């Protein structure tokens, strides 16, 4: 069983603040890491993917990967009320072939 763990929250931040979402994974050979955003009643949509140790920035979003600690995070700068959603972490590795393992998600609320 490949495990992907996330703090379920809810996480509340004021508008304009930085939201920090964390994810740990158990499969040491995991290679690909993804953050999806899911609005209530909607389907997940990809925000970020990261494959190498370090930071990857895209607009207000920064993904951080530390393979030694088996840890991936997502930072959302200048949080907006429209960022209020559940954020899902997903992991894939060559050992699991084409299977992706998802965490249970962290619920984020941005307070105006």
Partner 1 sequence: NAGVTQTPKFRILKIGQSMTLQCTQDMNHNYMYWYRQDPGMGLKLIYYSVGAGITDKGEVPNGYNVSRSTTEDFPLRLELAAPSQTSVYFCASSRTQETQYFGPGTRLLVL
Q: Which residues bind partner 1 (CB under 8 A)?
A: 4, 6, 8, 32, 34, 42-46, 49, 88, 90, 92, 97-105
Pairing of strands 4-6, 19-25: antiparallel
Distance CA 31, CA 92 (A): 6
Q: Which is nearer to partner 1, 2 or 60 (CB)?
A: 2
Q: Which is nearer to partner 1, 40 or 68 (CB)?
A: 40
> From the CB of 107, what's the least distance to partner 1, in Å?
9
Q: Which is nearer to partner 1, 43 or 82 (CB)?
A: 43
> From the CB of 104, what's the least distance to partner 1, in Å?
4
* Helix, strand, coil shares, percent, the chain, to 5: 5, 55, 40
> From the CB of 100, what's the least distance to partner 1, in Å?
7
Q: Which is nearer to partner 1, 1 or 69 (CB)?
A: 1
User: Contact 43/30 with Cβ under 8 angstroms?
Assistant: no
Helix and strand numbers (H, E) in the chain are 0, 11
């Amino acid at each position: 069983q490949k495990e992907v763990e996330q703090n379920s929250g809810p996480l509340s931040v004021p508008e304009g603040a930085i939201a920090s979402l964390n994810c740990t994974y158990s499969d040491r050979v995991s290679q690909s890491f993804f953050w999806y955003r899911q609005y209530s009643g909607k389907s997940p949509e990809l925000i970020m993917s990261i494959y190498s140790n370090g930071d990857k920035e895209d607009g207000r979003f920064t993904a951080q990967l530390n393979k030694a600690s088996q840890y991936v995070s997502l930072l959302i700068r200048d949080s907006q009320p429209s960022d209020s959603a559940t954020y899902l972490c997903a992991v894939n590795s060559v050992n699991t072939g084409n299977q992706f393992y998802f965490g249970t998600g962290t619920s984020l609320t941005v307070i105006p």
